[in-house]
Amino acid sequence: MKLFAINAGLFKLDGGAMFGVVPKNIWKHLITPDENNLCTWSMRCLLIDAGARKVLIDCGMGNKQDAKFFSHYEPHGSTLAASLAQHGYTTSDITDVLLTHLHFDHCGGAVVRKENGQLEPAFANATYWSNEQHWQWASQPNAREKASFLKENFLPLQQHQVLQFIKDEQQEIIPGLSTKWVNGHTQSMMLPLLQWGDKTILYMADLIPSAAHIPIAYVMGYDIRPLLTLQEKERLLTEALEKNYHLFFEHDASVVSCNLQMTNKGIRPKEFFTAESP
């Protein structure tokens, strides 16, 4: 089994929204904002090459929306297709796409708009994986999350009959790849858990979007249930410390992954890994 960090580009989000109640004079030393208080974040996906099966976890925001939409987020840098090609793969090689959740910056690349205007799966030979609880939540969005759930990013997957639902945390997509479900950021978000040789990798999605968000109180303003996020972070960080997981960060523009240690301030990163292979 081979793993590759796949770069689907960079984008910008408001630093205050990303750090919630943490004051700017603290978080600005961790992630530097620009003159508009925007910070740069990655859309880092994970490719698992298991031979016959090639699983991609998340797929960035894609390019379907209009210029006004993208002006809010300033996407730049690499594209997912270019990053795949850099590692010797094409979109046609992908057999499975595991979507942690259906916010636009995680699933927008799942569907492409053809020249004739038709919306089709971006990965022609892939099965796409979500779960029924989250799918229903995204399909009938609440007012708080409505702007993040863009139906053109995911409903075509069902229409093209390439969608399957993961039943529970125990179900494996491929041997060694299961998920942990959390509900603080959004309903039934899935965190892929991969056994890779003697290492265990936990893909953090938006529970802990960057290494700077490891402290328990560092919770995004986007989370629908921030107090639940606190509990989920504490539980999973404790488990990760005890079992020596490597945390894989989707949105950290500098750090790909880290392991953990206990300090007098609580659980913190031990070693940072910045190479594009986790």
Considering the four listed CATH numbers 1.10.10.10, 3.40.50.2300, 1.50.10.20, 3.60.15.10, the one that applies to the domain covering 2-273 is 3.60.15.10
Share of the chain above pLDDT 70, in %: 99
How many CA atoms lie less than 13 Å away from 109 in the CB half-sphere? Answer: 28
Question: Shortest CA distance to 188 belongs to which of 235, 224, 157, 239?
Answer: 224
Question: Shortest CA distance to 219 belongs to which of 204, 238, 205, 233?
Answer: 233
Contacts of 102 (CB under 8 A, 6+ apart): 130, 134, 135, 138, 149, 153, 154
- Domain positions in the chain are 2-273
- The model's pLDDT over 209-257, given as tens digits with 9 standing for 90+, comes to 999 999 999 999 999 999 999 999 999 999 999 999 999 999 999 999 9
Whether pLDDT at 276 is above 70: no
Q: Which residue has the higher pLDDT, 115 or 50?
A: 50
Whether pLDDT at 274 is above 90: no
- Length of the chain measured in residues: 278
3-state secondary structure the chain: CEEEEEEEEEEEEEHHHHHCCCCHHHHCCCCCCCCCCEEEEEEEEEEEECCCCEEEECCCCCCCCCHHHHHCCCCECCCHHHHHHHCCCCHHHCCEEECCCCCHHHHHHHEEECCCCCEEECCCCCEEEECHHHHHHHHCCCCCCCCCCCHHHCHHHHHCCCEEECCCCCCCCECCEEEEEECCCCCCEEEEEEEECCEEEEECCCCCCCHHHCCCCCCCCCCCCHHHHHHHHHHHHHHHHHHCCEEECCCCCCCCEEEEEEECCEEEEEEEECCCCC
State the pTM of this model.
0.95
Averaged pLDDT of the chain: 96
pLDDT number for residue 278 = 61
What is the rounded distance in angstroms from the CA atom of residue 123 to the CA atom of residue 185? 27
- The model's pLDDT over 58-72, given as tens digits with 9 standing for 90+, comes to 999 999 999 999 999
For the residues 168-173, what does the mean pLDDT come to?
Answer: 96
Amino acid at 1: M
- The model's pLDDT over 10-31, given as tens digits with 9 standing for 90+, comes to 999 999 999 999 999 999 999 9
> Could you tell me the pLDDT band of residue 275, with boundaries at 50, 70 and 90?
low
> Could you tell me the pLDDT band of residue 116, with boundaries at 50, 70 and 90?
confident
